[in-house]
Structure 1
Amino acid sequence: MCGLRRVAPAVAIVCGVLLLGAAACGDDEPRELAVLTHDSFDMEEELLARFEEEHNVTVTLIEGGDANEIVARSILNAGNPEADLLFGVDNFSYHRALEAGVFEPYEAGRRGELPDELLAAVGGTPELTPVDYGFVDINVDLEAGLEELPTALEDLADPRWRGALVVQDPATSSPGLQFLALTVALLGEGGWQQFWEALRGNDVRVTDGWTAAYYTEFTRNGGDRPLVVSYTSSPAAEVFFGELDEPPTGTLAAWPLLRQVEAAGVLAGAKEPELAGAFIDFMLSDDFQAQIPGTMFVYPALPGTPTPEWWRWAEVGAESLELDATAEEIDRWIREWTEIMRR
C-alpha cells in the first residue's frame, strides 16, 4: 500500500502510511494520481489500498464541493488540470464541462455493460463513464406527527403544509438543482414558475446545501421542518447509521422522479492519463460497485450488483423521468428561480 492523501479545499491532510520498503510498493518510487471529487465521495480504505498496491501509486483525493463546484473548478483549469481524473460530474453539469474541453476520451473496459439510459444521461460520450446514480425526492419525518402527506407535487404549496418544507438553493446545491429540474419536468414552462411562487408564499425555507437542510432544519435532527428535499436512499442511511430495524423517515415517491447520474472522466492535460483510466475501470469493478451503497448511499451503475439487506429501504417504485437540458437552459432556470425567491 502506497498511501492515500485526502486534500480538503484549503488544507491538505496526509492520511497514508509510511513505505515499509521495496516489498511494499516495488523498487520504484510510486507515482501519484490526483482525483478531483465532490465532498460526498467515499470508499472502503482496504479497496483503495489494493488499487494503490497493484498500480504502485499514491492516490490523492481533492475534495472540491458539490457537482456544480467541481465542474466550475475544472473549467477554470481546463487544459492545465489540478488533477488527473474528475469524479462527480452529473447529468446537469456535464454540458458545460464538455463545451469547455475539460475531458479527454476514455473507453472503460466494462462500458458495454452499463445501461443505455445511464450513458445517455451524460451525453453518451466516451469522455464520461457513469459510476452510480440516485434520485432526489421529498423525505418525510414519520415521527413528526403529520396527519396526512402530499400526494401530488402541487400539494407542497397547499396551506396544509405551510412552513413544513425545506429545500436547497439550486445555484449552490446539487440536490437543490435536481429538485428544481424535477419541477420543470413535471410542471413545464409557466407551471414550474407558478409552483415556486406558491411555495414561497407557503413559507418554504431555503438553505445553501443539503447538510444544513437535513441536519439542521429537518425535524428528525432537531429542526422544525418535517419535509426536506433529500435522496430516496436517505431512509436506508438512517437504518444503517442508527442500526435500526426500520427507518424513522420515508420518501413520498408519489410522482415520477429524475435520475441523477454521476460520472467520471479523464481530465484533458492530465499528468497520469493511463492511471486515471485504470481508476475508472477500478470504479466499475465488482468490488467497488458493491460498496457504493454503504459508502456513498447511492445506487451502483452496473446492473445486478449485490446490495446489503438494509438497502431495501432505498428501493422505491416511482417511475423514472429523463430530462435533457443545455447549460443555457439550466442557467435560465436558476436565474428565474432566484428572481422568484427574492421577490
Structure 2
Amino acid sequence: MLPKSRLLTSAVSLFAIGALTGCTLIGDTSQPESNTVTLVTHDSWAAPQQVLDEFERESGITIKVNKSGDAGELTNKLVLTKDNPIGDIAYGVDSTFASRALDEEVFATYRSPHANSGPQRYDLDEQHRLTAVDVGDVCVNIDTEFFAEAGLPEPENYRDLANPRYRDQLVVPDAATSSPGLAFLLGTIAEFGGGWAEYWGELKANGVQVVSGWEEAYGQEFSGSAEQGSRPIVVSYASSPAAEVSPDGSAPTRALPETCYRQVEYAGVLAGTPNTPAARTVLDFLLSEPFQRSVAESMYVYPARADVDLPESWAEVAPLPDKSSSLPAEQVQRNREQWVAQWRELVQE
C-alpha cells in the first residue's frame, strides 16, 4: 500500500516463486509442513532485520518474502493462483480490494489471539479470514512553505482543489494503476456521491495532473518532496509529513484531514497451504507488539493495535485522522471497474 523508501530484508522474485511452487506443489496439501513460511506481500514490505531475527530465534520459523506488486496486483495474483497458492500467508490486501479476495475464497479462517487488541475495529468478515495489520489513510498533502511564500491561503478540502486560485497545483496518481490514486477517487465518490464525475470535470478544468503512480506524483512532481517538483498539492498519505520532519521536529508539508480516505491493510492464511500452523504463527507475529511497533518507521503506516504508540514526532506532524471517509467494501467491489473506466474517460477527454 505505501510506496515509500524501505529496506527489504528478504525477498525473492515472482518468477522464482512460480518456479519453486511448480516444483514443490505448494498447493498440494499432501506435502509435509515446513519451518519456512512464504509471505506474499506488496512491494512496500519492510521490517527491521532485528525484529525478524528475533521471531526466527523464538519460533524456529523462517519468513521467505515474495513481493508481488502493489495492493491491486497482489490481490489479482492471489486470486489467479488460489488453486495452487504462491505462498502460505499474504499481507497487504487492502480495504479497496479485500472483498474480491474474500469472494474468491483466497483465504482460510483464522482468528489470531492478538485480534482483539485493536485489529477487530477493522473487521470485514465474520469468518475471520482477514485480519487488519495496519492503517494507511490516503490524504491530500500540501507544501506549506509554498503557500506561505506565495501569500495564498492553504486549501483545506476537496472543494478547494477545484478553486481557480489553485489552478495547475494538484498532481494525483492514476486511479487505474495506483492504489492511492484509486483511494483518492473513492474519497471523491464518498464526498460527492452521484456528483463525483462533475467534480472531476472541475478538477480537469483546473489543471489537475495525472501521473502513473505515487512515486512519480510525490517524488518527482510535488514541490514539498526532496526532488522539489513544481506542484504544491499531491495525493499521498496521512503519514507522509513524518518523512519530511526536520531536525527541529517541524515538517514543511501537512496532510489535509478533510480529504482522507481510510485504507486498511490485511493479512490472512492462504487457503490450500500445507503449512497452516506455521502460517498462523507468522500472522500472529504480524500482530505482535514488536512488529506493530516497527511499522510506523519502517513502512510509514499506523499500527492496527490500539496499545502501540506512534513515534513521538508523529503526534505533531502525522496523527492518525479521526474522520476519514470510506465506502462499503461490497459497494467498491461491485462498482470499481465501472468507476475507474468512467474516471479514465473523464481525465483523458
TM range, normalised to the smaller chain? 0.7 to 0.9
* Structure-2-length-normalised TM-score: 0.86
Partner SS state of residue 182, structure 2 = helix
Specify which structure has the bigger relative contact order, considering alpha-carbon pairs within 8 angstroms and separated by 6 or more residues.
Answer: 2
- Structure-1 residue corresponding to 2:298: 295
Does the CA contact (< 8 Å) of 2:143 and 2:223 recur in 1?
yes
Aligned residues of 2:35 and 2:60 also touching (Cα < 8 A): yes
CA change 1:339–1:307 in 2 (3 A) is same
Work out whether residues 141 and 250 of structure 1, in 8 Å CA contact, stay in contact via their aligned partners in 2.
yes
**Matched residue, 2:105:** 101
Residues 138, 238 of structure 2: 8 Å contact kept: yes
Q: 1:129 aligns with which of 131, 154, 157?
A: 131
Could you say which residue in structure 2 is the equivalent of 1:18?
none
User: What's the offset of the Cα at 1:263?
Assistant: 0.5
What residue identity is the alignment partner of 1:273? T
Amino acid at match of 1:222: Q
The offset of 1:64, in angstroms, is 1.0
CA distance in 1 between partners of 2:228 and 2:269 (Å)? 42
Percent of matched pairs sharing the same residue: 38
Partners of 1:244 and 1:67 in 2: CA distance: 35
Distance 1:47 1:307 in 2: 17
Equivalent in 147, 161, 173 of residue 156 of structure 1: 161
For 1:202-217, list aligned pairs within 5 A.
202-217=206-221
Choose the corresponding residue for 1:76, options 72, 75, 80. 80
Residue 232 of structure 1: aligned partner: 238
Query: Residue deviations 1:246-269, cap 9 Å, x none?
Result: 11111122x263211110011111
Q: CA deviation at 1:276?
A: 1.1
Instruction: Tell me whether 1:336 sits opposite 2:342 in the alignment.
Output: yes
Give yes or no for contact 2:135–2:301 (8 Å, CA) kept in 1.
Answer: yes
How many correspondences in the alignment? 318
**One-letter identity of the residue aligned with 1:143:** E
Kept in 2: contact 1:257–1:318 (CA 8 A): no
1:302-340 per-residue CA deviation (whole Å, 9 max, x = no partner) reads 112122211212115552333102412122211111111
Cα deviation, 1:124-152, whole Å, max 9, x if unaligned, reads: 44110101112111111122234112233
Letter in 2 for 1:164: Q
CA RMSD of aligned residues (A): 2.0
The residue number in structure 2 matching 1:16 is: none
Corresponding residue for 2:50?
Answer: 46
* Uncovered stretches (5+) of structure 1, i.e. residues with no partner: 13-28
Unaligned runs of 5+ in 2: 1-8, 18-32
CA contact (8 A) 1:35 1:62 kept: yes
Q: Does 1:310 align with 2:313?
A: yes
Q: Offset at 1:155? A: 1.7
More strand by share: 1
Query: What TM-score do the two structures reach when normalised by structure 1?
Result: 0.87
